[in-house]
């Protein structure tokens, strides 16, 4: 019976959030962009008219046309096809890196907030020290030490971004620890793990969901920046930051090489931010029905 009440409450809450989200045109716009990104990544071979690495020496640096909607690059590769396949790197990096950040940050935040004492002090001092270094500088240093490439990029950005999750979750845990149901659970003999999983973590879920959605565009920008600087995904792989780097020297006579990948990054960042803002408002308990 208790489980049925929980399920009913969850369904009611989900319907309420969906109804609030559907009222926000900007949030729906962001959701649409995110869905287009996911579909593009999933069906890239069917959407792209050319293979992303195929070189066409009879079509070097051609401007946008019916055959090549976004033009071609210095090696005659179709820019539109490279952007389409580059969506796969964007989705992969966004999901994997944010997932790693969330696992590390949420775990440390739960430990710091729940146990307190020296464990909290040690974790939060580590967060404070790492926050004193600009994020992109720290990520660039880590990626450089690891030699650059896809895996070093994932490791570098993951080791930088967990700090926000830790601070967020630690604050949520602190606000919940004084509630009577936590003391009741302890009195009933519940283990620490059960209390964290069944009583504390669900209360932080809304904050984590919103923060995750708003973190993905940051991860996309950092990943593109590291690839642009040569410390991330390496050519000829069609990662968007690497595409911009390849076209930066051609702006004067082939503006489309760098412009369209840059516009793709801008659109995706706007989409995730719009969706994140909408989720934040929809999950806010102070909002009206």
Q: How many CB atoms lie within 10 A of CB 156?
A: 26
CA distance 113 to 185: 17
The confidence score (pLDDT) of residue 3 equals: 42
What pLDDT is recorded for position 96?
Answer: 94
Helix (H) or strand (E) holding 264: helix 256-282
CB 172 within 8 A of CB 204: yes
Residues of the chain with confidence (pLDDT) below 70: 1-14, 17, 284-289
Q: What is the pLDDT of residue 200?
A: 85
How far apart CA 70 and CA 238 sit, in angstroms, is 14
Give the pLDDT confidence score for residue 284 in this predicted structure: 66
In this structure, are residues 169 and 115 in contact, taking their beta carbons and an 8 Å threshold? no
Look at residue 285 in the predicted model and tell me its pLDDT.
Answer: 53
158 φ, ψ to 5°? -65, -40
Name the β-bridge partners of 258: none
Domains of the chain by residue range: 21-40+75-282
What's the DSSP call for residue 200? I
Three-class DSSP category at 146:
helix
pLDDT for position 140:
87
CA 120 – CA 136 distance, rounded (Å)? 26
Q: Please check whether the domain covering 21-40+75-282 is classified as CATH 3.90.1150.10.
A: no
The confidence score (pLDDT) of residue 287 equals 52
Which residues, including other chains, have CB under 8 Å from residue 87's CB and lie 6 or more apart?
37, 40, 41, 44, 264
Cβ atoms of 252 and 258 closer than 8 Å: no
């Amino acid at each position: 019976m208790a489980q049925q009440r929980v399920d009913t409450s969850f369904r009611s809450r989900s319907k309420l959030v969906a109804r609030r989200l559907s009222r926000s045109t900007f949030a729906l716009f962001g959701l649409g962009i995110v869905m287009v990104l996911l579909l593009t990544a999933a069906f890239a071979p069917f959407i792209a008219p050319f293979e992303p690495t195929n070189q066409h020496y009879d079509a070097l640096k051609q401007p946008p046309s019916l055959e090549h909607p976004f033009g071609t690059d210095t090696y005659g590769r179709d820019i539109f096809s490279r952007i389409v396949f580059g969506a796969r790197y964007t989705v992969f990096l966004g999901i994997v890196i944010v997932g790693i950040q969330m696992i590390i940050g949420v775990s440390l935040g739960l430990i710091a907030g729940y146990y307190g004492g020296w464990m909290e002090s040690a974790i939060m001092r580590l967060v404070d020290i790492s926050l004193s270094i600009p994020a992109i500088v720290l990520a660039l240093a880590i990626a450089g030490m690891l030699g650059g490439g896809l895996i070093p990029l994932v490791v570098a950005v993951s080791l930088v971004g967990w700090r926000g999750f830790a601070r967020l979750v630690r604050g949520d845990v602190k606000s919940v620890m004084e509630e009577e149901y936590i003391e009741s659970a302890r009195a009933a003999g519940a283990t620490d793990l059960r209390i964290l999983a069944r009583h504390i973590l669900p209360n932080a879920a809304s904050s984590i969901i919103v923060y995750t959605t708003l973190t993905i565009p940051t991860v996309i920008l950092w990943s593109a920046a590291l690839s642009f600087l040569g410390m991330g995904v390496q050519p000829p792989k069609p990662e968007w930051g690497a595409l911009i780097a390849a076209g930066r020297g051609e702006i004067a006579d082939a503006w489309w090489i760098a412009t369209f990948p840059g516009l793709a990054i801008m659109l995706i960042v706007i989409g995730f931010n719009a969706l994140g803002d909408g989720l934040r408002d929809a999950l806010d308990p102070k909002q009206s029905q």
